[in-house]
């Protein structure tokens, strides 16, 4: 997946172009979510909000839901829609805590409880958690090992 590799290398503008073109060919929640993330990473919150809402509209529960909820929280918390941002962050937390989460999930919960968010720290936490989950799902799809849903 070329777009994801561009994202990992920090080439967000190129990744954004790639994902937007992919989403124009087929409206999949994955390409829409990554269009939103790339837009967020380059500071285009208006486009980020558009693409994250579109991704959410087309999404069904799965690993991309983490990225949608996490970035929906970041996008709205950065903008004027704090209530929707905290709601998305709560949805993210509830979904992720059932997937054998990294221990730093409790830092996210603390931000929710205090209703105070350090956006740069939250972005780092969410990227780490989401990337690890998506990597494990991809490993499971390729090899049959790695992904274990909590319970």
* Average pLDDT of the chain to the nearest whole number: 91
Contacts of 115 (CB under 8 A, 6+ apart): 86
What pLDDT is attached to residue 151?
43
What pLDDT is attached to residue 147?
59
What pLDDT is attached to residue 63?
63
Cβ(29)–Cβ(64) under 8 Å? yes
Closest CA to 96 of 74, 121, 128, 120: 128
Structure-block tokens of residue 21: 């073109």
**Average pLDDT for residues 118-140, to the nearest whole number?**
90
The better pLDDT of the pair 56, 1 is held by: 56
d(CA 96, CA 100): 8
pTM: 0.89
Structure-block tokens of residue 39: 């837009």
d(CA 94, CA 89): 9
Residues 15-63 pLDDT 10s? 999 999 999 999 899 999 999 999 999 999 999 999 999 999 988 766 6
């Amino acid at each position: 997946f070329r777009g994801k590799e561009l994202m990992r290398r920090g080439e967000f503008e190129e990744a954004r172009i790639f994902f937007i073109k992919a989403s124009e060919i087929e409206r999949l929640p994955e390409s829409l979510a990554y269009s939103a993330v790339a837009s967020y990473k380059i500071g285009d919150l208006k486009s980020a909000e558009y693409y994250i809402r579109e991704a959410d509209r087309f999404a069904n529960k799965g690993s991309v839901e983490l990225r949608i909820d996490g970035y929906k929280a970041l996008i709205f918390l950065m903008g004027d829609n704090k209530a929707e941002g905290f709601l998305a962050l709560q949805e993210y937390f509830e979904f992720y805590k059932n997937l054998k989460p990294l221990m730093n999930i409790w830092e996210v919960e603390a931000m929710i409880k205090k209703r105070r968010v350090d956006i740069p720290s939250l972005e780092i936490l969410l990227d780490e958690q989401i990337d690890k989950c998506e990597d494990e799902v991809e490993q499971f799809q390729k090899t049959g090992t790695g992904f274990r849903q909590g319970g």
